[in-house]
């Protein structure tokens, strides 16, 4: 571990950057943040906070020039600037070409195919007309190649009558998987090549908003499925030759297949519980991996549930957290608010982690907390 | 829990304030800091950081006027200003009169005596001459009434030849206790009167520097001693009628008596392990108590050791952490650096917490880590 004060620059100053800073404080690791929103969650906590676009070459390039290592907390950034910085000797993790790959779901799917990574069958579509031509592929998930995020740019086309809403831009159709479970495995790798994997977690999505609503760790899957999922996640980060932390979301099908759904080369919603539940949080692990420090133990200290605190439907404006007093009175309940003043429906305003040695009790308590806390205005 | 953005002002911006801020982030709790050192550990992390004296009435008063709740992370502050702020409706916890009591070890001892709280036998001394008159009280600990801190203002007088170095200012002589163990119990109380106590921890002091060198949780004491220690700690905070967090350091004598040694009405070195080892950290508990939120569960999640990272003797200047890479490669080892650029002998530069379910192994590992990490320049 270098002792000279290395600056870590982060593109994006949202909740992921905020929780990264909370970890970095323990290491005296200075962090600079670039974010377009002057009121981003990181604004008061970074050693330097720059307001500016993540998409403009000059803004990203100038920001990065002051840093030694540059990372992201959102994929939608200017990769040309990152490549230029890399050429000039900055360490950029995840590497710019990986960010570019992730920015396009079409390339991502092609990558799985090229490297023998199991994923749902798919067909690339240039526009709405091409989706329509592939009507025999339905029921399918129609994804936009670019700009999809947190539920945007993803929709299910069940039958021909749905075809009219197909995305009229480069995208893809993916066979609708009749899955048994959705799971995620987080892996991390540093420049020395050390590689660690977290135990699989199980995600339950919001029925309409395509956002994680509940997460349970450990996933209730067989040791065989656990092993398969871990192997696939390791395979993905190795094939990408990536440095940093990578969340690999997977489907477990009813006949025991494990298929990669999507990946995120940064701390991810599916790892928030690690702050309290694991020996090393995903945020500290991200720091360790991009800074080329030794990686931390990934073991689970205690079964955990994670609940996203999403802005309640029908409320918009200054956020008010209902039920917080009751929630924090409970043993093993951890609130994380993200410092966002304004709420709107489904906005990620915070999360709650619940710890309980008894897995059945844990599920009950997670539902209780979920119904207790509401983000209103 | 009030939803309106209440400002918590903290007098002192050292490591205790820094770890308090790390907890406060989870609650969107804004914190203002006052500290005389423009490079204090909190400087980049507080919503507002004011450089100024903690001892001057005007500085403290002006700082406090912008806050809703005011607390401390060091006792040596202007209590007149705090009283004035309290009169004007600010909530000040711990209460100013308690801070004043703690500022003077003579008053502190008198308080124990007046309230039947067990403590080592003592005699108040006005000056060196009066210490000398009490030569038959030796061997004794000679303490300065005021300004003692982290090993300063405390010395042992073993025999008459030591009398020449007696403090020539108001102080006290305390019977030297031939103790079996030193333990500490942290208690917290909010304005509603809720009261919680942490399990006792065991402290091992540095042989010469009068600073905690190791801490082990839980303390290896009998259930009877544990119960007695908890009762005494609860009794102290109740008799003080204090709101906030209070560390109660105690001696366990060889014949099973429990005597209060010193108390600190703020987060304390003896509670640093709670960040990883307990359900609720002492910093979050401090926040909960002064903000009048529900108090958190104090249970220990896992046996823990805490090692202070003190500036190595013989080194002064820009700090360098030796052995960090090996240390963070270990499972369940947590580094906390305090953001202090310059080291000097015995300066508190950080701490390390070690978790291990096996208590014997934990002790071995704590010694290994202690020998591994050195703060040099």
pLDDT in tens, B332-345: 999 999 999 999 99
| Angle CA A81–A84–A90, to nearest 5 | 105
Mutation target to probe the B interface, by most B beta carbons within 10 A, among A27, A47, A318, A327 is A27
Would you say residue B167 has pLDDT above 90? yes
Looking at residue B204, its pLDDT comes to: 86
Would you say residue A204 has pLDDT above 90? no
Q: Which residues contact B234 (CB under 8 A, 6 or more apart)?
A: B187, B195, B197
The mean pLDDT value of chain A amounts to 95
> Would the CB atoms of A328 and B288 count as touching at under 8 Å?
yes
Strands A304-310 and A348-355: antiparallel
C-alpha span between B349 and B168 (Å, rounded): 32
DSSP state of B78: -
Q: C-alpha distances in angstroms, A168 versus A123, A142, B53, B246?
A: 15, 11, 64, 64
Categorise residue A299: left if φ over 0, alpha if ψ from -120 to 50, beta otherwise.
Answer: beta
Sketch the domain layout of chain A as residue ranges. 8-92, 121-175, 179-376
The matching CATH number, chosen from 3.40.920.10, 3.30.1490.20, 3.30.70.270, 3.40.50.2300, for B121-175 is 3.30.1490.20
C-alpha span between B156 and B248 (Å, rounded): 21
pLDDT tens column, A44-62: 999 999 999 999 999 999 9
Q: Which residues contact B198 (CB under 8 A, 6 or more apart)?
A: B185, B186, B187, B271, B274, B278, B282, B298
- Residue A324 has its nearest CB partner, among B1, B45, B331, at B1
For B4, the closest chain A residue by CA position comes to: A320
- Taking contacts as CB-CB distances below 8 angstroms, the residues of chain A near B288 are 328
B261 labelled ligand-binding:
yes
Query: In the predicted model, what is the mean pLDDT of residues A83-99?
Result: 98
Structure confidence at residue B4 as a pLDDT band (50, 70, 90): low
Kindly provide the residue ranges of all beta strands, DSSP E only, lying in A119-257, ordered along the sequence. Answer: 122-125, 140-144, 154-157, 171-175, 179-189, 195-197, 201-205, 212-217, 244-253
Question: Tokens 């604004």 identify what position?
Answer: A43
For B43, the closest chain A residue by CA position comes to: A47
> By the 8 A CB rule, do A250 and A258 touch?
yes
Structure confidence at residue B5 as a pLDDT band (50, 70, 90): confident
Query: In the predicted model, what is the mean pLDDT of residues A189-205?
Result: 96
CB burial of residue B38 (10 Å; 0-12, 13-18, 19+)? exposed
CA distance A155 to chain B (A): 33
CA distance B332 to chain A (A): 6
Structure confidence at residue B207 as a pLDDT band (50, 70, 90): confident
CATH top class, domain A179-376: alpha beta
Rounded to 10 deg, the angle between the B79-87 and B96-103 helix axes is: 170
Structure confidence at residue A151 as a pLDDT band (50, 70, 90): low
Looking at residue A206, its pLDDT comes to: 73
Whose CA is closest to B149, among B102, B108, B183, B113?
A: B102
pLDDT tens column, B91-110: 999 999 999 999 999 999 99
- Taking contacts as CB-CB distances below 8 angstroms, the residues of chain B near A375 are none
B176 labelled ligand-binding:
yes
For B351, the closest chain A residue by CA position comes to: A26
C-alpha span between B49 and A320 (Å, rounded): 27
A143 labelled ligand-binding:
yes
C-alpha span between A261 and A182 (Å, rounded): 9
Domain B8-92: assigned CATH number: 3.40.50.20
Looking at residue A213, its pLDDT comes to: 82
The mean pLDDT value of chain B amounts to 95
Whose CA is closest to B357, among B365, B367, B345, B347?
A: B365
For A278, the closest chain B residue by CA position comes to: B332
Structure confidence at residue B249 as a pLDDT band (50, 70, 90): very high
Tell me if domain A121-175 and domain A179-376 are identical in fold.
no
CA distance A1 to chain B (A): 6
CB burial of residue A297 (10 Å; 0-12, 13-18, 19+)? middle
pLDDT tens column, A98-141: 999 999 999 999 999 999 999 999 999 999 999 999 999 999 99
> Would the CB atoms of B47 and A44 count as touching at under 8 Å?
yes
Looking at residue B264, its pLDDT comes to: 96
Instruction: Report ipTM (2 d.p.).
Output: 0.94
Would you say residue A2 has pLDDT above 60? no
CA distance B275 to chain A (A): 10
Instruction: Tell me which H or E stretch contains A50.
Output: strand A48-51
Query: In the predicted model, what is the mean pLDDT of residues A237-264?
Result: 97
> Would the CB atoms of A332 and B279 count as touching at under 8 Å?
yes
Query: In the predicted model, what is the mean pLDDT of residues A226-253?
Result: 98
Q: C-alpha distances in angstroms, B192 versus B93, B218, B294, B299?
A: 13, 29, 9, 21
SS3 for B5?
Answer: coil
Beta-carbon count within 10 A of B297 CB:
15
Looking at residue B27, its pLDDT comes to: 96
């Amino acid at each position: 571990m270098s002792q000279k004060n290395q600056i870590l620059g982060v593109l994006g100053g949202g909740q992921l950057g905020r929780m990264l800073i909370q970890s970095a404080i323990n290491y005296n690791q200075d962090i600079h943040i670039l974010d377009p929103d002057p009121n981003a969650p990181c604004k008061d906590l970074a050693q330097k906070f720059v307001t500016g676009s993540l998409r403009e070459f000059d803004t990203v390039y100038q920001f990065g020039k002051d840093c030694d290592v540059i990372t992201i907390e959102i994929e939608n950034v200017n990769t040309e600037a990152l490549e230029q910085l890399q050429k000039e000797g900055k360490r950029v993790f995840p590497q710019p070409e990986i960010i570019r790959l992730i920015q396009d779901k079409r390339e991502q799917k092609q990558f799985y195919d090229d490297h023998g990574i199991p994923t749902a069958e798919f067909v690339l579509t240039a526009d709405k007309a091409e989706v329509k031509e592939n009507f025999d592929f339905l029921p399918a998930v129609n994804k936009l190649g670019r700009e999809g995020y947190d539920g945007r740019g993803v929709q299910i086309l069940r039958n021909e009558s749905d075809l009219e809403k197909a995305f009229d831009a480069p995208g893809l159709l993916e066979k609708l998987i009749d899955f048994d479970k959705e799971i995620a495995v987080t892996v991390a790798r540093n420049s020395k090549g050390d590689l660690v994997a977290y135990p699989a977690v199980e995600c339950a999505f919001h029925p309409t908003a395509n956002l994680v609503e509940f997460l349970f760790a450990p996933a209730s899957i067989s040791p065989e499925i656990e092993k398969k999922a871990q192997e696939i996640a390791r395979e993905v980060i190795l094939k990408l030759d990536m440095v940093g932390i990578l969340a690999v979301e997977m489907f477990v099908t009813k006949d025991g297949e494990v298929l990669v759904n999507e990946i995120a080369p940064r701390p991810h919603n599916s790892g928030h519980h690690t702050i309290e539940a694991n020996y090393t949080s995903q945020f500290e692990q991200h720091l360790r991996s991009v800074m080329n420090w030794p990686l931390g133990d990934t073991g689970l200290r205690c079964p955990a549930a994670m609940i996203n605190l999403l802005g309640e439907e029908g409320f918009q404006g200054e956020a008010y957290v209902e039920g917080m007093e009751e929630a924090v009175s409970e043993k093993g309940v951890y609130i994380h608010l993200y410092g966002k003043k304004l709420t709107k429906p489904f906005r990620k305003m915070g999360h709650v982690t619940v710890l309980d040695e008894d897995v059945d009790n844990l599920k009950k308590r997670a539902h209780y907390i979920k119904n207790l806390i509401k983000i209103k205005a």
